Amino acid sequence: MSNRMTSLVRSLGTFAFVAAMATPAAAQATRTWASGVGDDVNPCSRTAPCKTFAGAISKTAAGGEIDTLDPGGFGTVTITKAITIDGSAGMASILASGTNGVIVSAGPNDVVTLRNLSINGAGTTLGINGVRVLTGREVNIENCVIFGFSNNGIDFIPSSATMNVLVTNTTLAKNAVNGIFARTNGSFFARLTMSRVRLDRNGAGVTAGDNSLVFVSDSVAANNTGNGFVALSSFGGPAQLTLQTVQTASNGNTGVLSQNAAAAVRLSDSAIDHNGGAGVVSLAGGQILSNGNNRSTANAGGDGAVTGSLVVM
């Protein structure tokens, strides 16, 4: 064999060896697994799970799913692609001391789902936000408990007009500023839908800020140190909050607050009871519109008055 042919054979052999070694390392699975006794050097398979969500997400294909095998603490995570993280196997916890629990910074067409997670901000230094939503197309937060953060349980400040957040069967508790906060810095809307959500012992339950469209149904804001539900237009952007079949009770201040001219609350079939301030309050031109089937009673600052009626169709 000529020297040239020998060199070619050797080169092809080296290329094949490198390719064989590189392919498994680059491979990503549609479903990966995390365990309290796993290791992030593992491939995150069912029989060789990873230890953390951050370790597993790098080995999970876009649009895939990370599942837990057993209870454990799985660490904070930044999500940059479409993914589902599901802690159905047991107490799947994220402990975020001095940082955010989950940051969603995904692509414009990505759907992210967080399901059956306990996201805890307690620690030597409190966590900042439980779930911080920045970019993506849709974020679903289902059957989660988010508590103990120094800012907001869910902090929703999107940077695009096509983004929606849906929160269902979730508890937000003991978050210092808000259970949930939504606004944008642009002319588009932060679109948030909540159903069967409990907001307990936060600073405020829900605050719909500038350029927000927030719909809440079948939910409770109780025992918050400030207000239960708030529409607050701080910079002139519309703050739109619809409350249907909700209860706001035993909060330290107002049950429902609408503040400034671009803020509007729409009330339907809801109960406002035993709050430390007034039941409903309109400040500086904020609107509170009722369809006439709500109840406000036994509030320490009086039951308050709505500013207008909803059109019943």
pLDDT band at 24 (very low <50, low <70, confident <90, very high): very low
Residue-wise pLDDT for 141-199, tens only, equals 999 999 999 999 999 999 888 899 999 999 999 999 999 999 998 889 999 999 999 99
Question: Residue 156 forms beta bridges with which residues?
Answer: 133, 182
Q: Is residue 52 part of a domain?
A: no
Q: Is residue 101 part of a domain?
A: yes
State the pLDDT at residue 20. Answer: 40
**Taking residues 119-124, what's their average pLDDT?**
92
Contacts 24+ apart (CB under 8 A), 302-309: 302/278, 303/272, 303/278, 303/279, 304/254, 304/255, 304/278, 304/279, 304/280, 305/280, 306/267, 306/280, 306/282, 307/258, 307/282
105 within 8 A of 77, measured Cβ to Cβ? no
CA distance 182 to 149: 16
Structure tokens at 292: 């006439």
Q: Is residue 288 part of a domain?
A: yes
Supply the mean pLDDT for the chain: 92
Would the pLDDT of 3 be above 80? no
State the pLDDT at residue 10. Answer: 53
Would the pLDDT of 279 be above 50? yes
How many CA atoms, within 13 angstroms, populate the side-chain half-sphere of residue 179?
Answer: 30
202 within 8 A of 230, measured Cβ to Cβ? no
221 within 8 A of 205, measured Cβ to Cβ? yes
**DSSP for 135-172, written as a single string:** ESSEEEEES-EEE-BSSEEEEE--SSTT-EEEEEEEEE
Q: Is residue 152 part of a domain?
A: yes
Identity at 234, one-letter amino acid code: S
- Count up the domains in the chain and report the number: 1
State the pLDDT at residue 300. Answer: 98
Residue 101's CATH number = 2.160.20.10
Q: Is residue 3 part of a domain?
A: no
DSSP 8-state class, residue 301: T
State the pLDDT at residue 243. Answer: 98
Would the pLDDT of 9 be above 50? no
Residue-wise pLDDT for 59-95, tens only, equals 999 999 999 999 999 999 999 999 999 999 888 999 9
Q: Is residue 58 part of a domain?
A: no
Structure tokens at 277: 């301030």
Would the pLDDT of 6 be above 70? no
Q: Is residue 218 part of a domain?
A: yes
State the pLDDT at residue 89. Answer: 87
Number of helices (H), then strands (E), in the chain:
2, 29
Would the pLDDT of 124 be above 90? no
CA distance 212 to 192: 8
State the pLDDT at residue 14. Answer: 47
pLDDT band at 208 (very low <50, low <70, confident <90, very high): very high
State the pLDDT at residue 161. Answer: 84
Indicate the helix (H) or strand (E) that contains 4.
helix 3-26
| Parent domain of 70 | 63-309
197 within 8 A of 168, measured Cβ to Cβ? yes
Structure tokens at 28: 């990503």
CA distance 134 to 186: 13
Residue-wise pLDDT for 40-66, tens only, equals 999 999 999 999 999 999 999 999 999
Q: Is residue 4 part of a domain?
A: no
As a whole-number percent, the residues of the chain with pLDDT over 90 amount to 86
Token pair 């057993």 in the structure block, residue: 70
